[in-house]
Structure 1
Amino acid sequence: MNIENFKDILIEKFGEAIILQADHQCITVPTENIAEVCQLMLEHQDCYFDMLSCLTGLDNGVEKGTMEVIYNLYSIPYEHKLMLKIVFARNEKGEALPKVPTVSNIWKTADWHERETFDLMGIEFTGHPDLRRILLPEDWDGHPLRKDYQAQEYYHGIQVKY
C-alpha cells in the first residue's frame, strides 16, 4: 500500500477534510479527529500501524500563527510508513495553551512523546493520563522550543541566561 491508499481509507470515513500534502509525504487531518484517525490506522486490516515511531511538535511562529503535531507511524508486519499532521492555531502569551486530543490510549509510546511536546512546546494533550513536565522542573517558566520563548535569567538563584 502507498500513501494514496491510506488517504482513500481516511477519506471514506472522515470525508474531504483529509488532505494529502503536495509532496505526497504526509496526510493532514483535522485536529479534532486525530485520535479517531490514529485508532482507524491501527485497527484497519490493510494498515495496522502498530507503532508510533515519533510524535513531535512544531511552532510555525507568531507570523503564521499556527503550530503542528506530526505523527510518524509504522506497521511492523506490513512495513508501511505513514506521516500524519495536524495544524492548529497558536496561542498568544497569556492565552490558554492549544489543545490536542491524546493518542496515548492507542500507543503507549505517545505518553512520553506527548509529555515532552507539552513540556517544550506548550501543547496540551486532552485526555492524557499524566500530562506534566518530563524534562524541565514543574515550576519552569515557559516552553523553550517555542519561537517566542525568552529564557528566565535565574531559576532558584541559579543563573540560566548568559
Structure 2
Amino acid sequence: MNPTEIQERLGQRLGASLECGGAGADAFVIVPAERWLEAARALREGEGLDFDYLRSLTAVDRPAEGKIDVAAHLFSYKRRHALTLKTRLDRAAPRIASLGAVWPAAHWHERELWEMFGVAIENHPDLRHLLLPEDWPGHPLRKDYAMPERYQGIPTRRPAPLAEPAAGTGPTNTGPKNPPEAP
C-alpha cells in the first residue's frame, strides 16, 4: 500500500480530512491532538494497515508558533510500509493521550517526551524521569531552556574540549631543552 492510500484509509476511518505530505518512508499525516489515540489504533488495527512497530516517538519545539509537534514514526513488518503520525500541541500546556495501550513500548518513549519537552501524557502508568534526576529543573530540549550553572553544588558546564586554552593555562614544556645555537 502506498502512502497516499494509507493516508486516505486513515482519513476515512477517522471520518475527517487530514493534512498529509511526504513520500515513501517520509510520508506523514497530521491529526488533531484529541484524535491522536484513535488514529494510532486505526493504524495498528485497520484493515491493510497493520502498523505493528513504533520506531520512535519524539517532538519538535516551535516557540515562534507557540506549538510543540509530536511525531510517532511507525512501520508495518507485515505490509512493509512506513508512516509518521503527527499532531500539534499548545506549547503553554502540551498534553496528549498515551499510546501505551496500542504499542506497549510507547511508555518508554513517552517518559522521554515528558522529561525533555514537558508534554504531559494522559493515562501513563509511570510518568517519571527517564534520564535525568527526578528534581531536574525544566525540560532540556525546549528551545528556551536555560541550563542551570550548577546542580546540587556541582557545575553543569565544562569548557569546550577543542577550545583554545586561555593564555598561561596551556601545557608547560618540561622536556629536555635544546642547547642554544653555537656561534
TM-score of the alignment, normalized to the shorter chain, above 0.5: yes
Q: Matches of 1:89 and 1:17 in 2, distance apart? A: 21
Return the letter of the residue paired with 1:11. Answer: G
1:50 to 35, 49, 52: 52
Contact between 1:31 and 1:87, CA under 8 Å: does it hold in 2? yes
Q: In structure 1, what is the equivalent of residue 65 of structure 2?
A: 64
Contact between 1:56 and 1:70, CA under 8 Å: does it hold in 2? yes
Contact between 2:13 and 2:42, CA under 8 Å: does it hold in 1? no
Unaligned runs of 5+ in 1: 92-96
Q: In structure 2, what is the equivalent of residue 129 of structure 1?
A: 125
Q: In structure 2, what is the equivalent of residue 30 of structure 1?
A: 32
Q: Matches of 1:121 and 1:112 in 2, distance apart? A: 14
Q: Matches of 1:73 and 1:15 in 2, distance apart? A: 21
Q: Matches of 1:34 and 1:17 in 2, distance apart? A: 14
Q: In structure 1, what is the equivalent of residue 139 of structure 2?
A: 143
Greater share of helix residues, 1 or 2? 1
C-alpha offsets along residues 35-88 of structure 1, whole Å, 9 cap, x if unaligned?
111111111120100100111011012x11111110111111111111111012
Aligned-pair Cα RMSD in Å: 1.3
The TM-score, its normalising length taken from structure 2, stands at 0.80
Q: Matches of 1:132 and 1:82 in 2, distance apart? A: 28
Contact between 1:39 and 1:106, CA under 8 Å: does it hold in 2? yes
Q: Matches of 1:117 and 1:152 in 2, distance apart? A: 20
Alpha-carbon shift at residue 15 of structure 1 (Å): 2.9
Q: Matches of 1:112 and 1:158 in 2, distance apart? A: 28
Q: In structure 2, what is the equivalent of residue 78 of structure 1?
A: 79
Return the letter of the residue paired with 1:82. Answer: L
Unaligned runs of 5+ in 2: 159-183
Q: In structure 2, what is the equivalent of residue 94 of structure 1?
A: none
Return the index of the structure with the highest Cα Rg.
2
Residue 109 (structure 1) aligned with residue 105 (structure 2): yes
| Alignment size in residue pairs | 155
Q: In structure 2, what is the equivalent of residue 2 of structure 1?
A: 2
Q: Matches of 1:105 and 1:44 in 2, distance apart? A: 15
Q: In structure 2, what is the equivalent of residue 15 of structure 1?
A: 15
Spell out structure 1 runs of 4+ moving beyond 4 A. none
The TM-score, its normalising length taken from structure 1, stands at 0.90
Q: In structure 1, what is the equivalent of residue 88 of structure 2?
A: 87
Alpha-carbon shift at residue 161 of structure 1 (Å): 3.6
Q: Matches of 2:44 and 2:83 in 1, distance apart? A: 12
Alpha-carbon shift at residue 101 of structure 1 (Å): 0.6
